[in-house]
Amino acid sequence: MTMDHVQDPQFATPVAPTPLPLRFSAPPGWPRPSVDWLAANQGWDPPAGWTPAPGVAPAPVGWVWWTRDEVGWKRATGAIRTAFLRRIIVAASVSVIGIALTVATLTLHTTFVFVAWGAIIFGPVTVIRNLVALRRANAAFLVSIRGKAAEVRQTLDTTTYSSYLAGNPPEPLPFDAFLAQRSGEAWSFTGVWPLTQNHLGVTDQFAFPAPPTSKARTVSTVVFAGIAAVVLIGIVVTSVGAAHTGSSTASVVRGDGGTSASGPADVQALPAGDRDFTTTFLDEDASSTATCNADYCWGVRITSKSTCTKAEIVMEFSPTKTGEPTRHESYILPLKNGTGDIAAAALDRTENYADIADSWCLAS
């Protein structure tokens, strides 16, 4: 610990030191303590009846001697608090990213599934662990401040006594007598203290360093970030590829009862009793404004026989031409000049046949 005297020939008013973590509350009528005394006695509660000088009234019963100095407290504990908060933010971010990537690969029908179980499980655990550690650190700060004050006091006592002896006094005081004299000099009604009561740098001793960073934690975070980036790229590439494939097969349909590796087997015409629309099943090469977002779709074009701007059709799907439908799906489509296209997606290749069960106009 390095401390220098203020540069004044004999006496010194308090320099503008860095605020200490704790502020001393002197009872009414008491003198003011020096910077050295404040630094050397942080958190110390004088015993009942104690006074710093003869003729000074003791403090009232239950007097609160110390309060937090918000600036000094934050400066002393800021590095530790920041380190814990940074760990909490990183752990929470890793957990959220892990959950997002896992859900994305499960719901976007990617060609792979990525389950970030480590991030999902250990992320919250790390957050809770660091929250508990931060709470314990807050409770331990006062103990640490008192311990640091004891170190400062010992350093001040030994260095000032050594300086005193180096001046070759004619009758040097014993160490205990010198400390008693120094204790008396630490209090002033005028705010002026001897040179040895205000050491530059004494308040700077109360800045606790951040806890060391775990190399394993840093490496694991970097590795996870790299894996997450690779998975994200994979999701983007898969999604772009799916979108490209879907757009290229927007009109895939087999309306002739045949089969195709890229399209469903067959579709049926609109029931004869429906007179509002005519229906055209688009073949594989027909142009359609509808977009297929599945492996294969039926392309259907609805043409209104009357004025209609929005229509709804109901399609039913079955695995065989004469079998019972296994699924019904409703589609709403806008009509431009009385015509609109849809791409009715098959859930899987067991849905080989489709039929238009009903249709009606929603808006004219």
Same domain, 221 and 304: no
Assess if residue 231 is contained within a domain.
no
**Which of 198, 226, 254 is where one domain is finished?**
226
The structural domain count of the chain equals 2
CA 353 to chain centre: 51
Per the structure block, which two tokens stand in for 320?
A: 């065989």
Burial class (CB in 10 A: 0-12, 13-18, 19+), 168: exposed
Last residue of a domain, one of 202, 226, 250: 226
Same domain, 165 and 288: no
Same domain, 174 and 271: no
Q: Strands of the chain (E only): list them.
A: 4-5, 11-12, 22-24, 32-33, 66-68, 187-188, 193-194, 199-200, 266-267, 277-282, 297-304, 310-318, 327-334, 339-345, 353-363
**Pair 4, 201: CB distance under 8 Å:** yes
| Whole-number pLDDT of residue 288 | 53
- Is residue 249, in this structure, part of any structural domain at all? no
Do 159 and 302 lie in a common domain?
A: no
In a domain, 260, yes or no: no
Query: Among the three residues 174, 195, 226, which one is the final residue of a domain in this structure?
Result: 226
The pLDDT of residue 76 is above 80: yes
CATH of the domain at 345: 2.60.40
Same domain, 189 and 303: no
192 with 290, same domain?
Answer: no
DSSP β-ladder status, 266-267 and 353-363: parallel
Q: Classify residue 78: in a domain, yes or no.
A: yes
Report the alpha-carbon angle 42-40-157, nearest 5.
Answer: 165
Please check whether residue 236 lies inside any domain of the structure. no
For helices 117-166 and 175-185, give the axis angle rounded to 10 degrees: 110
At 253-262, the pLDDT tens digits run: 333 333 333 3
Structure tokens given for 331: 């589609």
The reported pLDDT for the residue numbered 189 is 92
Could you give the CA distance from residue 224 to residue 95 in angstroms, rounded to a whole number?
A: 11
Among 78-92, 246-260, 284-298, whose mean pLDDT is lowest?
A: 246-260
**Interior angle at CA 211, CA 200 and CA 157, nearest 5:** 30
pLDDT, one tens digit per residue, over 90-134 is: 888 888 988 888 888 877 766 677 788 788 888 888 888 888 888
Q: Does residue 159 sit in the same domain as residue 28?
A: yes
**Is 273 or 195 the better-scoring residue by pLDDT?**
195
Task: Based on the fold, state whether residues 218 and 289 are members of the same structural domain.
Answer: no
Positive or negative, the CA dihedral 182, 186, 190, 194 is: positive
Q: Is the pLDDT of residue 282 over 90?
A: no
Taking CA 232 as the corner, what is the angle to CA 229 and CA 237, rounded to the nearest 5 degrees?
Answer: 125
Q: Cα–Cα distances in Å, from 57 out to 49, 174, 193, 200, 238? A: 8, 30, 21, 31, 82
Task: Look up residue 85 and give its amino acid.
Answer: L
Whether 79 is in a domain gets the answer yes
Is 234 within a domain? no
Asked, for residue 257, whether it belongs to a domain, the answer is no
Give the pLDDT of residue 208.
Answer: 80
Q: What is the pLDDT of residue 164?
A: 92
Res 108: pLDDT: 72
Q: Outline where 70-185 has alpha helix (H).
A: 70-107, 117-166, 175-185
Contact 203, 36 (CB under 8 A): no
Residues 36 and 136 in one domain: yes
Q: Please count the CA atoms within 13 angstroms of the CA of 291 that sit on its side-chain side.
A: 7
Enclosing domain of residue 352: 266-363
Q: Across residues 178-200, what is the average pLDDT? A: 90
Identify any residues that bridge with 12 across adjacent strands, giving them in sequence order: 193
Q: Is the pLDDT of residue 280 over 80?
A: no
| Domain co-membership, 138 together with 65 | yes
Of the given ranges (34-38, 207-211, 228-232, 259-263), which has the lowest mean pLDDT? Answer: 259-263
**Which residues face 333 on adjacent strands?**
311
> What three-state secondary structure class fits 351?
coil
45 with 63: CB under 8 angstroms? no
> How far is residue 266's CA from residue 260's CA, in Å, rounded to a whole number?
10
